[in-house]
Amino acid sequence: MGFPKRRLWNIALIVALVAAACASEITAPSTAIESEAQPELDSEADSPTVLATDLEELMEQMGEDARTSIPEISAETGELEPREIEGADADAITKIAAVEAFWIDVGSEIGLEYEPLDSQFLIPRSVLAARGTQDCTFNGAVTELNADMARFNAFVAPCQEGITVVWDDIELKARLDARFPEAGFAHLMAHEWGHVAQQQSPRVQRSTLLGEQQADCYAGAFVAWAEDRGISPFTTPRARDLAIISALETRDRVGSSPAAANAHGNGFDRTRAAQEGYDSGVAFCAGYDTNPPPITQMTFSSQAEANSAGNLATADAVALIEPALAAYFQSLTDTPIDPFVPPIDLAQLDGINRQIGDGGVATLLGLGYAGALQASVGEDPNGIEPALRRACLFGTFLNQTLNGAITSTSPDGTVTALNLSPGDLDETIMTLTNSPTVISNPGLVFEIVAALRIGTIEGLNGCLLNR
């Protein structure tokens, strides 16, 4: 039986696609990259009344000059034509046009007749700095948007003057362009326009985190849509990899509460949402409102755990994790797996622990045990599908750990329940996408993260092991 594929390009074994840049989260002076500074919307009564929701009515209210700031559909190509946006570079203008074209095309799938935003409400940080402030009326009160709000940030504000999108074109876009060429900023804009779609849709009461998960899901759906149409930068599998890694790196800080007012999700949950959108489209994402996705983000259980960032010393991690892995993977087959388990390389494990965390230690050990299980049942370990299946199988161990079903027995017979700490799942993804012993052809980073996700969320049935 083969591992279930979604959009797997022809790719071969062994890599480090995104190198060490993907091993640590992007940090900002005071906020996470996308801690959006929009007003709280806690109830239906708080829903903003956006002026002139009808496009023609908006033009009439604003006069003839407004017609040049609303994008038009080309009579020849039927496509949305980019238009000037004050202070925005050509790259930003093109990517915004693409994501608006996406919503014009797919909005009907969620009952939305998307209305393109007026360019005067698309504001780079540099322009906001030159203006000083921008009034945003919401729920009867006026907030002054300013450039400080936009530093290392992007946000959507539901202003009565018009839905407003602000992004940092000075530092954040430059950082994304350097680390995730073209794809990072495109994915960020797709996420923000997910919020625009939410604002243009009937109000639904949802938590901050659920709203962010849905926007991540919509962003993933945009990537798939752009690939299908050959829209830059999503014309190569590498761009898809960079988009998913940019989602990982814009995660909340480790140990942040999923109930926080500005929660966006840990890396695992953000990448899961984006991949679900990629696989299943906007209708699936809209379904989050009635069928919320599983959330794995967690806080530290104690001050001691917070002080260590949830990480054990390498020797302690091996002593705790290795017996649990041995027992779990042996339980999946009647054939002894011990002869196929690779020797433990403490120096390698210590290096990954220092670079990434003890989730990396668990990942390398877990992939070794998953490979031993494959060998014990006669599966050829070489090639793409077996490599994806190893990631999936290790995900099933994480699944059981999340469900409280994994224990570790020490040599003296002491039984300890195994628990994940904040950051462990993110560290697993970082290990898979950075280690030169994992797989390295464009497109495979996305696929191996998807394989891990399937095992972690769905359990063993998703991995299709020949047993």
pLDDT at 27 (0 to 100): 32
pLDDT at 113 (0 to 100): 96
Distance CA 267, CA 251 (A): 5
Please answer whether residues 106 and 221 qualify as being in contact, where contact means their C-beta atoms are separated by less than 8 angstroms.
yes
234 CB-near residues (< 8 Å, 6+ apart): 183, 186, 223, 226, 227, 240, 243
pLDDT at 466 (0 to 100): 52
Label residue 122 exposed, middle or buried (CB < 10 Å: 0-12, 13-18, 19+): buried
Pairing state of beta strands 407-409 and 415-417? antiparallel
Please answer whether residues 328 and 400 qualify as being in contact, where contact means their C-beta atoms are separated by less than 8 angstroms.
yes
Please answer whether residues 320 and 361 qualify as being in contact, where contact means their C-beta atoms are separated by less than 8 angstroms.
no
Phi (first) and psi of residue 122, to 5 degrees: -110, 105
pTM metric for this prediction: 0.83
Q: At what angle do helices 358-376 and 424-434 cross, to 10 degrees?
A: 70
Report residue 386 CA to chain centroid gap.
25
Longest dimension (CA), the chain: 82
Mean pLDDT, 10 residues at a time, the chain of 467 residues? 35 23 30 34 28 33 39 55 88 94 96 95 97 93 95 95 96 94 95 97 92 97 96 93 89 93 94 97 97 96 93 96 97 96 96 96 97 94 90 97 94 93 95 68 90 95 69
- CB neighbour burial string for 366-376, b if at least 16 within 10 angstroms, e if fewer: bbbbbbbbbbb
pLDDT at 79 (0 to 100): 60
- CB neighbour burial string for 269-280, b if at least 16 within 10 angstroms, e if fewer: bbbbbbbbbbeb
Please answer whether residues 297 and 269 qualify as being in contact, where contact means their C-beta atoms are separated by less than 8 angstroms.
yes
Distance CA 227, CA 234 (A): 5
The token pair at 260 is: 């926080």
Phi (first) and psi of residue 161, to 5 degrees: -65, -25
pLDDT at 442 (0 to 100): 83
Sheet with strand 122-124: strands edge to edge: 122-124, 164-167, 154-157
pLDDT at 435 (0 to 100): 59
Tokens 């002026």 -> residue = 51
* ∠ CA 208-459-338, rounded to 5°: 135
